[in-house]
Chain A
């Protein structure tokens, strides 16, 4: 899809957001001193070839989903993984921000594994609400939760960046939104204790950790408590899924970003009667599905997120 941007001036943020909305074109973002500015569209940005730690985010693969919004969610996950394999500079690893499966069935987990493992990358998972609905609520933890705490949260370090995988889909209360819970909040406080404020943090969880749209439950009721524990850190990046569309917000040193689904798009907040799967013309579907890659350049405190649709 062609777009007329005046690249001499550099695309304005509004223009870039229009691009993401209407064409699904990926954008490379750079954060310097908490202020984001775009470096341009994906092709230009990829040409610049980022050095540093690069990892991929994949989300909401919903393996098992076969409704009209995408009768072949397995197929679009396969396409996404094939594209991951084709990236010239191999990412260090992948994170999956939940809803691996649609109904937590063993066969869905098996199919997801078979496809995702073809990327030949380590994958760090957090569960979505669709991954913990098997009768005994044990399949996700058996497969992905080894060595994790509580409902499946954990942290790890890579290239000087501290990663925290959080769970905000368990033990939800009626009338509320996503929730981390007291036990996990205490663990977050403990996990961050003694860490230097100059350590970049990357926090990932399924449901957005900021309130996108409470009417649809798109938020985490106690995320403010988690973020207050991260206030002293100079660079915090929060990566989520759940809402099946790209959305970004910057607040002080914190950048919030949601990734596309590889399965089906969902409507923009408030633009439909509910958050259910959005049916779009077949030729448009792949512009609304995709993955994200995130790059840290060491020493520069820079972070770049590139959203790449399956087609666009």
Chain B
């Protein structure tokens, strides 16, 4: 292995650690599958970023009932992320198929 390669691997390993940090902290994913948000309800600490991923063959959206957040139409495998900075309950739905609903409960981050 050349020195350059060893260096490159080292950099990649560092990047991997950096990239992994927020995921490790609390970030979460909501899957959209078979016209369902899964899990439909999540409780998180303020500051958490939630990413929705559409696994259906049909586009979906993620729209907060209070319009606190609103995705574009997500085609298959498209993602949408939102960081929940303030505590509260955030019910949301798919504006194309409004029978699809979910909610995010955000609790104050007490630093624990």
Co-complex (A, B): yes
User: Which residues of A approach B to under 8 Å, CB–CB?
Assistant: 67-69, 102-104, 129-130, 133, 135, 169, 172-177, 214-217, 273-277
Mark contacts of B56-89 with chain A using CB atoms, 8 A cut-off: 1 yes-contact digit, 0 otherwise: 1111010101000000110110000000000000
Q: Is the CB of A174 within 8 A of B73?
A: no
C-alpha spacing A234/B26, complex, angstroms = 62
Interface window among B1-9, B10-18, B42-50, B97-105: B97-105
State the main secondary structure of chain A at its contact with B: loop
B36 within 8 A of A: yes
Measured between beta carbons, the chain B residues less than 8 angstroms from A103 are 59, 73, 75
Report B60 CB to chain A, min CB distance, Å. Answer: 10
User: Which residues of B approach A to under 8 Å, CB–CB?
Assistant: 34-36, 56-59, 61, 63, 65, 72-73, 75-76, 91-93, 95-101
Q: Is the CB of A276 within 8 A of B56?
A: yes
Q: Is the CB of A172 within 8 A of B98?
A: yes
**With A215-B99, A216-B35 known to touch, is A174 a contact of B65 (CB < 8 Å)?**
yes
Measured between beta carbons, the chain B residues less than 8 angstroms from A130 are 59, 96
Residue of A nearest to B61 (CB): A133
C-alpha spacing A135/B75, complex, angstroms = 13
State the main secondary structure of chain B at its contact with A: loop
Q: Is the CB of A174 within 8 A of B75?
A: no
A-B contact pairs, 8 of them (CB 8 A): A69-B57, A133-B73, A172-B95, A172-B96, A172-B98, A174-B92, A174-B101, A175-B101
Report B52 CB to chain A, min CB distance, Å. Answer: 15
Among A104, A135, A176, A277, the residue within 8 A (CB) of B58 is A277
C-alpha spacing A135/B74, complex, angstroms = 11
Q: Is the CB of B73 within 8 A of A104?
A: yes
Residue of A nearest to B76 (CB): A67
C-alpha spacing A103/B57, complex, angstroms = 12
Among B36, B61, B72, B93, the residue within 8 A (CB) of A175 is B93
Residue of B nearest to A272 (CB): B34
C-alpha spacing A12/B61, complex, angstroms = 44
Measured between beta carbons, the chain A residues less than 8 angstroms from B63 are 174
Measured between beta carbons, the chain B residues less than 8 angstroms from A69 are 57
Q: Is the CB of A276 within 8 A of B35?
A: yes
Measured between beta carbons, the chain A residues less than 8 angstroms from B98 are 172-177, 217
Q: Is the CB of B36 within 8 A of A274?
A: yes
C-alpha spacing A104/B75, complex, angstroms = 11
Residue of A nearest to B93 (CB): A174
Most chain A C-beta atoms within 10 Å of own C-beta, residue among B59, B73, B92, B98? B98
Residue of B nearest to A134 (CB): B73
C-alpha spacing A289/B63, complex, angstroms = 32
